[in-house]
Amino acid sequence: MSSKTMNIVQSINSTLDYMMTRDTSIILLGEDIGIDGGVFRVTEGLQKKYGKERVIDMPLVELGIVGMAIGMSLTGLRAVPEIQFQDFIYTAFDQIVNQAAKMRYRSGGEYNVPMVLRTPYGGGIRGGLYHSQSGEAYFAHTAGLTVVTPSNPYDAKGLLIKSLRLNDPVIFLEPKKLYRSQKQEVPEEEYEIPIGKASLVHEGNDFTFITYGSMVPTVMNTVSKNNLDADVIDLRTLVPYDGETILNSVKKTGRVIIVHEAPRTLGMGSEISAFIAERAIDYLLGPILRVTGPDTPFPYRLEEHYLPNEMRILKAVHKMQQYR
Amino acid sequence: MDEKEKIIDGYRAMVLSRTLDKKIVMSQRQGRVGFYTPTMGQEATQVGLSMNLEDQDLIFEYYRDVPLMLHRGVKPETIIDQIIGNSDDKEKGRQMPSHYTAKDHNFMSVQSPVATNLPPAVGAAYSIKYQKKDGIVIATFGDGSTSTPDFHAALNLAAVFDLPVVFLCENNKWAISYPVEKQTRSEIWKKAEGYGMRGVLVDGNDLLEMYKVAKEEIDKVRVDGKPVLIEAVSYRMGPHSTSDDPSKYRTDDVKEGSDKDPIVIAERKLKMLNYIDDQAIEKIKVEAKERIDRIFDEREKIAAPKPETMFEDIFENSNWIIDEERGEIL
Ligand SMILES: Cc1ncc(C[n+]2csc(CCOP(=O)(O)OP(=O)(O)O)c2C)c(N)n1
Ligand SMILES: [Mg+2]
């Protein structure tokens, strides 16, 4: 089995390339994605290979990019719009929430929108208020959207292939902090990672860490540096999240710590905690704890204080250790 | 200030801005600054407009408006503090560089999502009119920004309500890698007609021309209280930002010192008018350089904002959730 060492950018780039060769209905559109290759270079070389009509450099209008992608996806194409930074998605929010998400339902299943909306999200690159947001909860709260976020190059490929074969809209969130931070062997042949299936990236008995996206490496480093005997669950899909993997782990460890970068109030952690409380409260040995970004906008100069880190995760561990 | 002084003063602001621009770009390469969007090439557009403004006017500026800010009297210190994000920065180091706030000169606070400043500018103009206050509103944005829904909504609303807004489109011909010819099939200034307002095209590369046309238009806005769209054409002489590599997409490079450089054009015209000679030019440039170097080195030494400031200004009054999170994090 041959493989290549790649970072997330290369993995997504080569996967788009692979899929575009095989599925001629795939079409890419976004700002600066063609000649410039995208501001993060994720679509580098694709316009050259597939032409300007298939990798479309768009005028500066997110609402139009997503709206057109929906129209394309309603009529035989599989559009992959890129929003340059998730922070700029909001003028397109109406299209996402009221068109894409509701099309299948409102037409009684007559119409569907097989669109994969890609967008970089999260902090860690000194982007300040408007180049750092983690808005996954806005999408997760909307019925009809599948929300996916890979945390490594291997998963990025498998999740993207699967997303590109789904017949419903997918919000594909790319943790930009991890774009180039890690390399991994990625098999050259194709494979799918199922939607709704988490990955147990570390196994242990004392704690269950539930996390995703940019926080996966932070949690993993904390666990290995401190020899924590813990399960680490990388959700990979936020909607629908993998309840079974969560419950199996919680029943084993009884101690749950949820880690995400997005603000605490009504973040993914809120949903997961409620889910666990409803179904496994008898197994819990202590409160469900959340280590998250605070309920403030994302600051520029003080970003290292905003992002959850080892110290804050350990603080939660110590707090949890008081319950026996 | 007489006309001659006013024009020389405008030229001086252009040079000051150019000097600051180069200093910040160089500092970014040296790792002393995180990011920057150079304003090089847009000096004449902004200063020519600014020369017609009054103290009470409100400005909804965008991230490339350093020359406008400096000409209106914002100190280079304010710009540099924001770029560095130090504890003297009015924004408390919260925003990425190039996103200024200067309330003392009636500048609003810059956001990243382009053109989202335009509908609020219209609201501010309504407010001025409703409260029978003096002054007009200036809203600035790039050529790429004319594709956004915000731009179209704002023009329509300003026209519908007869509001004193000057929409200044700083057409530098590029939106990152995307050229203006692809952004729109019509000319930007002509879009005004579709909304029922005046639109004008001006050579934004020429200080005197920009000053003159902006004066005519702004005088009208002050009298009839109706909006105008000014399209000022210039060049983006630098990259989109310090993270951008224009060599991938751009062949129309406009070099500093070339005959398309608005500073070169201003110098030529001011010399023709006998307002200024080579010696005076040299003096202005040397003074600007010394001033900027000194200020930059000084502002760089100022400490970072204290971590607790991250939890301020979410609301007028904090709440228990924020207080608790502050306690957990600090
Ligand atoms: C709504 C939105 N989408 C995308 C971006 C990313 N972006 C930053 S500047 C820019 C180009 C803006 O071009 P233009 O309006 O011509 O202004 P210029 O930068 O040329 O002065 C883009 C696409 C953004 N800031 N806001
Ligand atoms: Mg432009």
From B44's Cα to the closest Cα of chain A, the distance in A is: 25
Range of the domain at B174: 3-329
CA separation for the pair B145, B114 (Å, rounded)? 6
From chain B, pick out residues whose CB is under 8 angstroms from the CB of A90.
Answer: 113
What is the tens place of the pLDDT at every residue in B127-151? 999 999 999 999 999 999 999 999 9
Question: Quick check: CB of A62 below 6 Å from ligand 1?
Answer: yes
Q: Domain residues of chain A, as ranges?
A: 3-187, 199-321
> Per-residue pLDDT for B103 more than 90?
yes
In the sheet that B228-233 helps form, which strands lie side by side, from edge to edge? Answer: B101-102, B107-109, B58-60, B137-142, B165-171, B228-233, B198-203
∠ CA B224-B229-B235 to the nearest 5 degrees? 145
Question: Quick check: CB of B182 below 6 Å from ligand 1?
Answer: no
**Ligand 2 is an ion; residues with CB less than 5 A from it:** B 142-143, 172, 174-175
Q: Give residue B63 CA to ligand 1 midpoint distance, Å.
A: 10
CA separation for the pair B8, B112 (Å, rounded)? 33
CATH of the domain at B208: 3.40.50.970
What is the tens place of the pLDDT at every residue in A18-64? 999 999 999 999 999 999 999 999 999 999 999 999 999 999 999 99
**How many Cα neighbours within 13 Å face the side chain of A49?**
16
> Across residues B181-199, what is the average pLDDT?
98
Confidence label for B53 from pLDDT (cuts 50, 70 and 90): very high
Find out whether A234 and A151 touch, Cβ atoms under 8 Å. Answer: yes
- With an 8 Å Cβ cutoff, are A265 and B321 in contact? yes
> Across residues A232-243, what is the average pLDDT?
98
From chain B, pick out residues whose CB is under 8 angstroms from the CB of A32.
Answer: 176-178
∠ CA A124-A174-A189 to the nearest 5 degrees? 130
CATH level 3 topology of A199-321: Rossmann fold (3.40.50)
> Per-residue pLDDT for A1 more than 80?
no
What is the tens place of the pLDDT at every residue in A139-193? 999 999 999 999 999 999 999 999 999 999 999 999 999 999 999 999 999 999 9
> Per-residue pLDDT for B253 more than 90?
no
Which among A32, A297, A301 is the nearest to B177, CB-wise? A32
- The values of phi and psi at residue B228, to 5°, are -145, 150
CA separation for the pair A321, A316 (Å, rounded)? 9
CA separation for the pair A203, B264 (Å, rounded)? 67
Question: Closest Cα to residue A122, out of A210, A237, A213, A235?
Answer: A213
> Across residues A296-314, what is the average pLDDT?
97
DSSP states along B289-303:
HHHHHHHHHHHHTSP
From chain B, pick out residues whose CB is under 8 angstroms from the CB of A48.
Answer: none
B139-160 as b/e, with b when 16 or more CB fall inside 10 Å?
A: bbbbbbbbbbbbbbebbbbbbe
Q: For B227, left (φ over 0), alpha (ψ -120 to 50), or beta? A: beta
pLDDT value at position A312? 98
Beta-carbon contacts of residue A80 (< 8 Å; ≥ 6 apart): A16, A26, A27, A28, A29, A69, A115, A116, A117, A118, A164
- Residue of higher predicted confidence among B168 and A1: B168
CA separation for the pair B182, A190 (Å, rounded)? 37
Question: Closest Cα to residue B330, out of A306, A109, A261?
Answer: A306
- With an 8 Å Cβ cutoff, are B248 and A37 in contact? yes
Q: Give residue A227 CA to ligand 1 midpoint distance, Å.
A: 46
Q: Give residue B155 CA to ligand 2 midpoint distance, Å.
A: 18
Question: Quick check: CB of B175 below 6 Å from ligand 1?
Answer: yes
Question: Quick check: CB of B237 below 6 Å from ligand 1?
Answer: no
Q: Ligand 1, atom 11: nearest CA belongs to which residue? A: B175
> Across residues A204-216, what is the average pLDDT?
98
Tokens of A89: 């998605």
Which residues of A have a catalytic role annotated?
Answer: 131
Confidence label for A271 from pLDDT (cuts 50, 70 and 90): very high
Confidence label for A131 from pLDDT (cuts 50, 70 and 90): very high
Question: Closest Cα to residue A146, out of A201, A97, A195, A190?
Answer: A195
What is the tens place of the pLDDT at every residue in B148-168? 999 999 999 999 999 999 999
- With an 8 Å Cβ cutoff, are A131 and B96 in contact? yes
> Across residues B43-58, what is the average pLDDT?
98
Interface residues from chain A to B (CB-CB < 8 Å) = 31-32, 34-37, 39, 57-61, 63-64, 85, 87-88, 90-91, 126-131, 264-265, 294-297, 299-302, 305-306, 312, 315
What is the tens place of the pLDDT at every residue in A111-125? 999 999 999 999 999
Per cent of chain A over pLDDT 70 is: 100
CATH for the A3-187 domain, from 3.40.50.1000, 3.40.50.970, 3.30.70.330, 2.40.70.10: 3.40.50.970
pTM of the model: 0.97
Q: Identity (one letter) of the amino acid at B265?
A: I
> Across residues A261-275, what is the average pLDDT?
98
Q: Identity (one letter) of the amino acid at B102?
A: A
pLDDT value at position B262? 98
Question: Quick check: CB of A90 below 6 Å from ligand 1?
Answer: no
What is the tens place of the pLDDT at every residue in B305-325? 999 999 999 999 999 999 999
Confidence label for A108 from pLDDT (cuts 50, 70 and 90): very high
Q: For A66, left (φ over 0), alpha (ψ -120 to 50), or beta? A: alpha
Tokens of A159: 């999740």
- Bridge partners (DSSP) of residue A30 are A57, A82
Tokens of B265: 């054009």
Does the beta carbon of B113 lie under 8 angstroms from any beta carbon of chain A? yes
Among B40, B114, B236, B237, say which to mutate for ligand 1: greatest number of ligand atoms within 8 Å of CB.
Answer: B114
Total domain count for chain B? Answer: 1
- For residue A177, give the DSSP letter: G
Is the fold of A3-187 the same as that of A199-321? yes
Closest-lying ligand 1 atom to the alpha carbon of residue B241: 19
Chain B nearest-CA residue for A263: B325
CA separation for the pair A323, A232 (Å, rounded)? 20
User: Which ligand ends up closest to the CA of B142?
Assistant: 1
